[in-house]
Amino acid sequence: MNDRPRHRKPLIARLLSLEGAMAAFGLFSLGSGVLQEKLMSVFWGVMILAGLGILVVVRRHDWKQHWESLEQQRPASPPADRKPPEA
């Protein structure tokens, strides 16, 4: 169906990325909070993992293309240094 080859990062590169580090810290915080019964560690672990999930979802969308299409749809506005004609 799709003749284009998919370019994927190797597993090591994905684990050593910023997202991988965030996931590891979130899991560590969540796990240590559960084991030590510290509510704040559990809270921060859940928040980090939820934020990482949102980041992944947002990155999957092509926001650059979205903003470019909005710019093309917007009518040209007059330059800011020009004053509008007085009535």
| pLDDT value at residue 72 | 83
At 83, list the tokens.
Answer: 């004053």
DSSP letter for each residue of 27-78: HHHHHHHHHHT-HHHHHHHHHHHHHHHHHHHHHHS-HHHHHHHHHHHSPPPP
Q: How confident is the model over 34-75, as pLDDT tens digits?
A: 999 999 999 999 999 999 999 888 877 766 777 778 788 877
User: Per the confidence metrics, is the pTM higher than 0.75?
Assistant: no
What distance in Å separates the CA atoms of residue 48 and residue 20, rounded to the nearest whole number?
12
What distance in Å separates the CA atoms of residue 48 and residue 2, rounded to the nearest whole number?
35
Where exactly are the structural domains of the chain? 13-69
Helix (H) or strand (E) segment spanning residue 20? helix 18-36
